[in-house]
Amino acid sequence: MKSKAPSIISADVVLQGSVNSDGEVQLDGTVEGDLRAGSLTIGEEASVDGEVIAENVIVRGRVKGSIRARQVQLAATARIEGDIVHSSLSMESGAFFDGHCRHSSDPVADSGASGKSAKPPSSLPSSQSSSSAPKSESGSGSSGSSSSNPSLDLPKAKTSA
C-alpha cells in the first residue's frame, strides 16, 4: 500500500505549522514547524525551521532544528543547525552540520533528543570544545567563533612544545 505517489511541497509554498505524513514527502518549499514523514527529501532550495522526524531523510537544503531518523543522508549542499539522532548517518563532503549527533537503535521513538534540540545555541561552546582534541586549549579558544579555531591552536601548541 506504500506505492502511493509522494506528496510534493513545491518551491513557492511556505507552510506555517506541522506537517504529518505516513508516506513519502518531497519538500522544495519552506516549512515553519515540525515535519513528520515516512520518507522525506529536502530539496536544495528547501528549508525547515523545526523538528524533522522520519524513517529516511535526505537533506539537500537547510534544517534549523533537530532531525530524528533511522537513516539520515546529508548531501554536499545540506546545512543543518541542530542535533541529529540516527541509526545510520552519511554525510557528503561540503555538508554543514552544527550540532550534536547521537546513535540510537530507534531514533524515531526516542524522544530524549527533543529536549536537547531546543538548546543548540547555548550548547555550541561545549560542542566545539568537546569536538576539539585538547580540552585545555578550548578555554583559550572559546573566544573564537568558529570550529576551525581549535585546529589553529594545535599547531601553536606543537611549535611551543
pLDDT tens-digit readout, 100-156: 999 999 998 876 544 444 334 433 444 343 333 333 333 333 333 444 444 444 444
CB neighbourhood size of 149 (10 A): 17
- Main-chain phi, psi angles of 22, to 5 degrees: -85, -15
pTM for the structure as a whole = 0.68
How many C-beta atoms surround the C-beta of residue 28 within 10 A?
18
Tell me the pairing of strands 84-91 and 101-103: parallel
C-alpha grid cell for residue 48?
Answer: 525547515
Distance CA 76, CA 53 (A): 21
Tens of pLDDT, residue by residue over 7-36, are 999 999 999 999 999 999 999 999 999 999
Q: Which of 57, 123, 47, 48 is nearest to 84 (CA)?
A: 57
Q: What is the pLDDT of residue 127?
A: 39
pLDDT band of residue 5 (cuts 50, 70, 90) is: confident
- Could you tell me the pLDDT band of residue 3, with boundaries at 50, 70 and 90? low
Answer whether 98's CB lies under 8 Å from 123's CB.
Answer: no
How far, in Å, CA of 46 to CA of 63, rounded?
9
Closest listed residue to residue 113, CA positions, set 105, 123, 121, 104: 104
